[in-house]
Amino acid sequence: MRLSDGRSGAQILSFGGYQPAKVVTNDDLAATVETNDAWIRSRTGIVSRRIAGPDETVADMAVAAGGKALAASGLTPEDIDLVIVATCTPEAQIPNTAAPVARRLGICAPGAYDLNAACAGFCYALANASDAVRTGSARHVLVIGAEKLSQWVDWTDRSTCIIFADGAGAAVVGPVTEDTAPGIGPVVWGSDGDMADKIFVKDRNSFIFQEGQAVFRWATTALHPVAKQACERAGVDPADLAAFIPHQANLRIVEAIARKLGAPQAKVADDIVTAGNTSSASIPLALSRMIERGEIPSGAPALLIGFGAGICYAAQVIKVP
Amino acid sequence: MAMTEQEILAGLGEIIDEVAGVPADQVTPEKTFVDDLDIDSLSMVEIAVAAQDKFGVEIPDDQLKDLKTVQDVVDYVRRSAVSA
């Protein structure tokens, strides 16, 4: 048997992000549930979030973000041969999200699958994409994180409705050229099924439940070693990171992990302030906006870490496109 | 050797300064976390985690909610350190 011809490394060629038009402020929420702006800001860092319209689907948002990343990559739809959509809020169980999204983007007959690692989904999908390029299973991969969490939120539950939001982010992954260094480092990933009851949706008629304090304790103690390990495996000193983009779960978690990581030069993503927690979309969405604003230079090393329900987590160092 | 009450209080002051930005000299035994020191439940979790690193005493979430004052934490650490 022959094996496919692999590549020496993969890199991210571009990012793209999409946010729904509707802005929901803390004051908007305070009008319907017992909460207030100061409380939400101090506990989560969130000032406002975006919520999809009633007819706007996860696929619509995935197409919007994926289309932007594709356009920014300079490639054409024909160049893409694998589409991975990371989501824990798909419109339907059957069919998947990836195949119709690929079709709408004009990508002809790619491999297409959904991946559910909740808020860690983008980092898992990025690792899959990198491996696919390196082994020769795909040449160019479109990786999308897209979520419509608003339809799984109880809008009378003040512990969750202040946190979760909607959005999408995407990246195009391709091979490195002969004279460039790899752009996606080794993934460090894992899970802890003992904590499956800390964040869950019981059944299709239920809403998202989160044991906030337990998740906070876990996130602020278990993740900085994972982040450090991802740097170590990539051979990048945390002190040399230009950016740190953890999943935008809660600004307090983001700041605690950043402090314990010790990356003084790194611009730390705080996209949650105006985006809320968009699960698998949060990392590519934050990155696309940081790149748009010129906050992180092209070619610089950035550390990503996703974490969420499962519990699942994954981290890797990337080179900013 | 067991830590003295003063040592625990001093260590706790350092932790609270780092986690919540409350100067260590304000961390006196009678102070309540919520009302006097303006420390919320998430900061309490961070304090508990840091206390575990510093004193080797685990404070689970269900115990943490009953620790209202600085003295409560000092007592908890002393009790747990003795029984450990």
Smallest CA-to-CA distance from A70 within A113, A13, A29 is with: A13
Instruction: Answer yes or no: do A103 and A51 share one domain.
Output: yes
Report chain A's terminal Cα–Cα distance, integer Å: 36
- Tens digit of each residue's pLDDT (9 = 90 or more) over A181-210: 899 999 999 999 999 999 999 998 999 999
Model pLDDT, residue B83: 65
Burial of residue A241 (number of CB atoms within 10 Å: 0-12, 13-18, 19+): buried
Based on the structure, what is the number of domains in chain B?
A: 1
A3 assigned to some structural domain = no
Chain centroid to CA A46: how far? 17
Residue B1 banded pLDDT, cuts 50, 70, 90: low
Dihedral over Cα of A135, A137, A139, A145: its sign:
negative
Instruction: Answer yes or no: do A83 and A196 share one domain.
Output: no
Q: How far apart (Å, rounded) are the C-alpha atoms in residues B47 and B66?
A: 14
A182 assigned to some structural domain = no
CB nearest B49 (choices: A214, A217, A252):
A217
Residues of B within 8 A of A36 (CB-CB) are: none
Burial of residue B28 (number of CB atoms within 10 Å: 0-12, 13-18, 19+): middle
pLDDT exceeds cutoff 80 at A179: no
**SS3 of chain B: helix, strand, coil, percent, to 5:** 60, 0, 35
Q: How far apart (Å, rounded) are the C-alpha atoms in residues A105 and A71?
A: 11
Instruction: Answer yes or no: do A229 and A251 share one domain.
Output: yes
- Tens digit of each residue's pLDDT (9 = 90 or more) over A254-306: 999 999 999 999 999 999 999 999 999 999 999 999 999 999 999 999 999 99
Residue A65 banded pLDDT, cuts 50, 70, 90: very high
Distance from CA of A217 to the nearest CA of B (A): 6
Residue A279 has φ and ψ, to the nearest 5°, of 50, -125
A169-to-A68, A88, A147, A276, B23 alpha-carbon distances in Å: 9, 14, 9, 14, 41
CB within 8 Å of B76: residues ≥ 6 apart: B57, B59, B63, B67
Mean pLDDT of chain A: 96
Yes or no, beta carbons of A217 and B41 under 8 Å apart: no
Instruction: Answer yes or no: do A33 and A165 share one domain.
Output: yes
Last residue of a domain, one of A175, A209, A226: A175
Model pLDDT, residue B3: 83
Q: How far apart (Å, rounded) are the C-alpha atoms in residues A66 and A50?
A: 18
What is the domain-level CATH number for residue B23? 1.10.1200.10
Residues of A within 8 A of B40 (CB-CB) are: 42-43
Distance from CA of A219 to the nearest CA of B (A): 11
- Tens digit of each residue's pLDDT (9 = 90 or more) over B23-44: 999 999 999 999 999 999 899 9
Residues of A within 8 A of B49 (CB-CB) are: 217, 220-221
What is the domain-level CATH number for residue A256? 3.40.47.10
Model pLDDT, residue B19: 87
Smallest CA-to-CA distance from A313 within A124, A147, A144, A90 is with: A124
Instruction: Answer yes or no: do A143 and A239 share one domain.
Output: no
The domain in which residue A101 lies consists of 10-175
Active site residues per annotation of A: 119, 247, 277
